[in-house]
Structures are given as C-alpha cells and as structure tokens.
Structure 1
Amino acid sequence: MFLAPDGDEIEIIDAAAGFLADVMPISRLHESGSADMNGTLRRQMGEMGWFALALEENKGGSGLTAVEHALFFREIGRLCGSLDVLSQALAVHVADGDLRARLISGDVGVALAVRDGGEFRLLGAPGAALALEVNETGAWLRDVSALAAETRSSLDPATSMRVSTAMPDAVLGQVDGPEVMQLARLGSAAMLIGLAEAALDLIVDYAKVRETFGRKIGAYQAVRHACADMALRAEAARCQLWFSAAAIKEGRGDAAIHLDAAKHLANQAAIANADANIQLHGGIGVTDEHDAHLLLKHAWFLAKVFGTKRALLGRLLDARVED
C-alpha cells in the first residue's frame, strides 16, 4: 500500500463498513444508554474476528498488519465508534492463553485505564471486567470486576467514564516495549480521520440540498472554500496515517516519528472539521437531534488519548527521519 488502500485492503474496508453500519450506527447515540460496547455487540465483533486483525495467527489472530488495523478503525471513527473497541483490540496483544481467547471472542470486556494525577479514569463500558493501561514503556491488563469506581459524566456520549483512586496490584497480562502504544496511537488516529471524513460528508450532502435566496448553499464560495479546507485537512492526515501504518508494517526505525505526526494531524483534522461542519450547517447544526455535535464531542475526546498536542509536538521537535 502506498498512501492509499487497494485490493484486499479495500475488501476489508467494505466488509467493516457494511458490518458497522448495521451494528453501530451513529444514530444510536441519540438514545439513552447507548454509550460503549455492550456484551452482545462485543461478541458479534468477536465472531467476525475484528479484535484480532493485527494479532499473529499462531496466537489466534488473523495475522494481518498495522495497515489493516488502521483501515478498520477508520471505519469505526466514521460512526463515532466506542473507544472500548480499540481497548479490546489492544488487550488481545497483552493477554495469554485462555484469557486471550476470551478477549478475541468478546466473552470478556476491557475498559481503558488512564492515569490522571492520583486517580485512574476508566473509559468504556461500566461492566468491563478488565482494564488496560498503556504507555510508551509497556501495557498492563488488570481485573477490575470488584473495583469500587465512581461514575462521572463524560463529554463524549459514545464513552462512559468512571474514576478510581487505585488499581489492583495483580497483573493478568503484561508486555514491555512501545508496540501496544503504537497500535493504540495508530487506531485512535485512524478513528479521528474517519470522523473528519464523516464531518466532511455531512456538510457536502447538506450543501447540495439546502437553499438560501433561491440557490443551493454549495454554490456560495464561503461554503465551498470551507469544504475544500476540510477536504485538504482530511487528505493530509489520511496520507500521513497510511505512511505511518506502512512504516510500522515494514519495521522502519522512524515509524514512531511518523506515527506521532499522524496522530497530531488527525487531532487537528477531526476537531477542525467537526467544528466547521457545525458552523456550515447553521442553526440546525447546534441542535441535539443532529449528528454534528456527536462528531465534535468524540473528536475532542479522542484527541486527548494516546497522544495530545504538547506531547506529540515535543517529540517531533527534535525528531529525525530516515531517508
């Protein structure tokens, strides 16, 4: 793949898009209790093998690569897909034996544990029995089924949040090194790019039918130029995503640098496009019934995990890439 999917990769996109449109439509987020991934959906996704795309075949996975991982999570992002889909896909790389098999099948759920000062934020389904903590040095999987955690309101309707002052000491699975974080950053960047593309699609479709003063609003330069800017942001971020996925697949020494750039561009593209989508829709864009606010809230949320602006730019400041 060179900056664009082809062949079997397009088949994966089509299969994922069709499946997700049926089981995880964005319209679900207008209903109460629709955040996260419930047990039924988790098992459905497990049956399709989506959690183990980038896991080796001898470990029960599909034996594919970071490229396919990115392709799938781009489709997840288009529908404001739950973060715990990504947490589940990362956890299969941390667990072993029977636990790994149960994670692949979706029999047990995983939330993401994020350190916040002296607390831990658990992001994902409240019923998740396990929690995954990931950083640049490794990843740890813990049993949180008996953990006392306080439910907190979440900005993002697609993601539930709980807070705990401590985590269990016992570790059910652990891996050292940056590999899991790389898949986490790649997956979240892909979700953000899918979201940026969805925002562009929404306003382009609207601009073709909405009329003011007897003309479609897409005929006005103020709308056309803004849409062009949205398309450019999405394209730049998408190309960097494909390159970083290919760099991980090929084992390039500078893959982490390209991945940092991909996440930064994805953060920018998703937030800016989601905001422009609301502005260009006008009054209807700020209503609760419209999807526009869901995209913006999810974009801000995803931009805060696995690489924020300060951390990414701090590493890129002195980065050196290979020829």
Structure 2
Amino acid sequence: MDFAFTQDQIELRDGVRAFLEGTHGPEVLRRLDAEGGRDPAIWRGLVEMGLTGLIVPEAQGGLGLGLVEAALVAVELGRADVSEPIVDTALIAPRLIADEAQLAAIASGKLKVALAHPVNPWVADADQAGLVLGGAATRERLESADPLRRLFAVERAEADAVMLDLAALMAAAQLVGASERMLTLATEYAKDREQFGQPIGAFQAIKHHLASVAVALEFARPVLWRAAYALDHGHARAPIHVSHAKLAATDAAMLAAETAIQVHGAMGYTYEVDLHYWMKRAWALAGAWGDRAFHLRRLDDAVIGGAMAIGPDQTFETGMQHG
C-alpha cells in the first residue's frame, strides 16, 4: 500500500497555500468582518486559481480531480479561514449535479451553489447562490458564532446521504486546517511572549500542551485522507470513515482552540488577537454537517449494530492503493 501523496497533489496543496497566504491574511479577515463578510475580488481570485473547476469533469471545463485533492484544498481553505462559498460550490456540489450546463457554470465561477439538508438548521450563503441543492432557504438571516459566516434558515430540506458525507468530509478538512493555523499562532506567541526573563515556550507545561495538539492533528490527518479516498472510490465503509474523520478533526480543533487560548493567557478571546477568527470558525464547523453526538451515533450503530466487522483481520481493506 502506498499512502504518500503524489507530486501533483503536493504541488496543488503548496500552490493553494502560497496563494492564500499572499491574498487572505488576518488583515483581510478584519476588513471582511467590518464590511459584511464578502468581497467579489476574493471570489475572482479563487476562480482564477482554478479552484471552482477542481472536481468538475474535464468535459465541462474542469480539472476532473478527486476527493483527496478536494480535501487537500479544503484544509488550506480552513487554514486561511476562507468564508466564500467555495467549499459548497466547488468541492461538494459537482458530485451532486448531473446537468452539464450547471457543471460548466460552476467551473467558470459563474454559478454559486448552496446546500440544504435536514441535519443542518441553516443554509450558508443562500443569498448569493444561483442554485440551492436539497431544498430551499428563507430570507431570514441567522446569527453565527463566526462573524464571517452568512447563514440563512432552512425552509425545506430533503435528506441526501451523499451530500451529508461529502459535506461532513469537507467540514473535517477545514477543521484540520483551522487547527493547524491555531497551533501555529499559539507556537509563535509562545516564542515571543516572555515571562521571568525567557519565552513562555521554554516552559515544559507550554511545550506539553502544544505537543498534545500536534499529536491530535497527527491522528486526524490520516483518518481524513482515508475517508476522502474511501468516499471517492465508493467503499462500503466510507460513511463510517467520514464520521470518524469528522470526530477526529473536531476533537483536534477543540483542543487546538482551548490550548491556543491558554497559551495567549485568554487574550485569544479578544477581538484584538487574530486567533479568535479561527477559534470561532472551529466552533461553527464542529456543529456543521453533524455534530459530535451525531457522528458518534453513526459509529455506534455500525460497530455495536454489527454492520461493521471489527478485529485485526478487518482493519485494512485489501486492494487499497493511493495515488
């Protein structure tokens, strides 16, 4: 089995990261927060990067890539705290749409898509969407813990199992990215902040807390990649792998947020510190597309209910190869 990323996948990830670091830093988040949360120039940049066509078939003007590549990009979007509806539109909707004209419009950036599902009490960016899949949204704007999210009440929604798994997978990927950024912010602060004549990062207690976050992320990443691969290839256990990924990513994000706040001496709660943007995004994504209790129930039903065999002879699926 080869679990390494291909060179093309690494270059895709690094290219998206470099682009977002240069165009979507904390100063942009503060401007968006003050101006209403959306900027057409940011959407144009994402389109010009080719992200709207990432998983759209080549015949409709896309790149025809898979869910592993989509998850890699979603991690970077979470790391940069991007709020544009790029995940729903470009990384989820193309797998739910058969209409060639709509797929071409997504690839070109002309069509934005919102998603409605009974498990979610909201529809993100419904006011900008030219298409709402799975139901409808009202004009009622909802409050969010995350000031950069634009949420609207669900008027009608139909259960779509494929949509749920895709959206939960991409929420998990964004949580991993947000966790990575919070760990970076906490580590950098620990290097700069001094107490008793030395950086606080020199103290064992701080090191141990930060190391615990790094370990949680190391556990979450491979679970995420397995879920993306399994879902992309139609494996029977894919929904269970997705729930595992959402749980692992949520736990890592909650630990990262808590630890980063502690390292900042609780200043992370304040508006003056950039950390609060990623912390609030993590809170919001933790409850999106199935909260912790929802995905634990899915795992319990599969394992205790007998639908998923467990044991050393069941751990690895035969014939699984990445790349």
TM-score interval for Structure 1 and Structure 2 normalised by the shorter chain: 0.7 to 0.9
SS in 2 for 1:92: helix
- Structure 1 residue 217 displacement after superposition: 0.6
Read off the aligned partner of 1:122 and give its amino acid letter: V
Change (3 A) 1:132 1:42: farther
Aligned to 1:111: 114
Equivalent in 100, 111, 119 of residue 103 of structure 2: 100
- Which residue, out of 276, 287, 290, partners 2:273? 290
- Partner residue of 1:193 out of 156, 161, 176: 176
1:150 aligns with 2:140: yes
Aligned twin of 2:47: 46
SS in structure 1 of the partner of residue 85 of structure 2: helix
Give the 3 Å change call, closer, same or farther, for CA 113–25 of structure 1 in structure 2: farther
Q: 1:308 to 1:124 in 2, by over 3 A?
A: same
Structure-1 residue corresponding to 2:321 = none
CA displacement at 1:185 relative to structure 2 = 1.9
Q: Helix, strand or coil: the match of 2:229? A: helix
Name the CA distance, whole Å, in 2 between partners of 1:216 and 1:99: 54
Stretches of structure 1 lacking an aligned partner (at least 5 in a row): 134-139, 168-173
Structure 1 residue runs of 4 or more that deviate by more than 6 Å after TM superposition:
none
Deviations 1:98-132 (A, max 9, x none): 22222222223233335479xx6232263333323
The aligned residue for residue 12 of structure 2 is 12
Stretch moving more, 24-33 or 237-246: 24-33
Deviation at 1:292, TM superposition (A): 1.4
Structure richer in helix, relative to its length: 2
- 1:231 Cα deviation after fit: 0.4
Structural mapping, 1:54-203, within 5 Å:
54-82=55-83, 84-89=85-90, 90-95=92-97, 96-115=99-118, 121-124=122-125, 126-133=127-134, 149-163=139-153, 165=155, 178-203=161-186
Structure 2 residues without counterparts, runs of 5 or longer? 317-323
TM-score relative to the length of structure 1: 0.84
Instruction: State the Cα distance separating 1:184 from its structure 2 match.
Output: 1.7
Once structures 1 and 2 are overlaid, which stretch shifts more, 190-199 or 104-113? 104-113
Q: Post-superposition shift, 1:34?
A: 5.2
Q: Return the offset for 1:274.
A: 1.2
Instruction: Let me know the Cα RMSD of the aligned residues.
Output: 2.7
> What is the rounded CA distance, in whole Å, between the counterparts of 1:208 and 1:303 in structure 2?
29
Check conservation: 1:36, 1:124, Cα contact below 8 A. Answer: no
Instruction: State the distance in 1 between where 2:13 and 2:213 align.
Output: 22
Output aligned runs, 1:271-310, within 5 Å: 271-310=254-293
Letter in 1 for 2:17: A
CA contact (8 A) 2:57 2:63 kept: yes
Deviates more, 1:44-53 or 1:68-77: 44-53
Secondary structure in 1 matching 2:122? strand
Picking from 201, 221, 232, the partner of 2:204 is 221
* Distance in 2 separating the partners of 1:52 and 1:180: 18
CA contact (8 A) 1:196 1:234 kept: yes
Q: Residues 94 and 240 of structure 1: is their aligned pair in 2 closer, same or farther, counting only changes over 3 Å?
A: closer
Q: How far 1:225 moved relative to its partner? A: 0.6
TM-score by length of 2: 0.84
Could you report, residue by residue, the CA deviation over 1:230-284 in whole angstroms, capped at 9, with x for unpaired residues?
1011111112112222223444322222121011111111122112101111153
CA pair 180-59 structure 1, distance change in 2 beyond 3 A? farther
Tell whether the 8 Å contact from 1:42 to 1:109 is kept in structure 2 after alignment: no
Mean Cα deviation higher: 216-225 or 243-252: 243-252
- Secondary structure of 1:63's partner? coil
Distance 1:246 1:94, change over 3 A: closer
For 1:15, the aligned partner's letter is: G
* Percent identity of paired positions between Structure 1 and Structure 2: 35
Contact 1:37 / 1:125 at 8 angstroms: preserved in 2? no
AA aligned opposite 1:126: D
SS in 1 for 2:123: strand
Output the CA distance in 2 between the equivalents of 1:129 and 1:11. 32
- Report the residue type matching 2:150 in the other structure: S
